[in-house]
Each structure stands twice: as C-alpha cells, then as structure tokens.
Amino acid sequence: MKSFLATLVFWAILAVGAQAASIDSAYTKIKLDNCQVQEIPAADEGTFGGSWLCAGYKGMPVYVAEGDLRMFVSFGIGAEGERAAEQTLPNFNTVNETLEWRLRDGEAFATILRWFIDNPEGGKPGSILIVTQVVPGATCQIARIDARANQNANQMARQAADTMAGHYDCSQEPQVLGTPGALN
C-alpha cells in the first residue's frame, strides 16, 4: 500500500510539474506607428485621442485606444467590445511598448503590460503592471500590481496570470496584489 501511495504521489508531482512546464512567455511590441488606425479623433472632441488595431502574438489583435489622456487596451477578435477595452487607471497614463503574453501550450491566455501613471504630486511617474485574461467574451483586467511598491512585481504578475486567468469574473474589478502603493 505504501508503495502504491508513493507511486501515486510521484505521478501527481510529475503531472503538476509537467503542467507548469507548459506555461511560457512571448513578447511583442505595441508601436502605434505600425498599427492600423481604427478611429481618428474628431476635431470638435478634445478628449478622444483615437484608437488603433495592432498585431500581437501570432497576429492576435491588440486594440489600443486613448481618451482623456488615459489608455485602454484589449485583445482578441472583437477586442474593442470586450470589458478590457473599457478599463483604465484613474490617473492620466500611458502604456509601455513591451507586451508579455502568457502562453499555455503555445496559446495565449493572459497578458502583462506595464502602465505608467502620472504622479499628481509631480516627480517620477508610477509604474503599474496590469494582468489581463485573454478569453473570447471575457477579456478583462484581472490584477494590478504597483511595480515600485513591490520588489517582485513581475513574478507576482506572472503568478496572477497563471493562476487567475481563464476563470476570472469580469464583472468584478481587477484585484490589487501586494503592497498597493499608488493603487490606493
């Protein structure tokens, strides 16, 4: 019986390890000059900065919009209709051009993108990692991590993507993980 249990535990550990080994990252760039303009801001509308459709991992659409000096980013076919396309941070913000895709068996299931937020007190802008699950019909931000307040922010973002993406309820606000810092 002990040998059977030991064998069972061995195979369980091996299965978990094999599953973890199938998660990887790929990186693409968001360069709006290389993206297709979706909507040009109207001359009489001073708060809408436009929207673009960019190519992401394996050509997956990346929707980027700017309004009232805030960015909105979503992913997949119909990305502009997903919840992520409506989500941003309260501070004026911009996004980094490097986009990390979390992959399971080569398929994207989440993204991690660094957003820079204005510091209302002046000085150095904040740095926030936003994790977005990529699920058709349920693409939304699931976690936010202040990269300045958390020394291991990248690791935290990957762990959030790997454990939360795919089953997050998009009617909920994204979870703030670690020390909130500028996310208070």
Cβ count near 172 (within 10 Å): 9
2-8-10-16 Cα dihedral, nearest 10 degrees? -150
What the block records as the tokens of 132 is 């977005």
The model's pLDDT over 9-67, given as tens digits with 9 standing for 90+, comes to: 444 444 444 445 499 999 999 999 999 999 887 666 666 789 999 999 999 999 999 99
Query: Which pLDDT value is given to residue 34?
Result: 95
The model's confidence at residue 124, banded by pLDDT at 50, 70 and 90, is confident
Query: b/e string for 55-71 if b means 16 or more Cβ within 10 A?
Result: ebbeebbbbbbbeeebb
> pLDDT tens-digit profile of 65-75?
999 999 999 99
Residue 1's identity, in one-letter code, is M
pLDDT of residue 138: 98
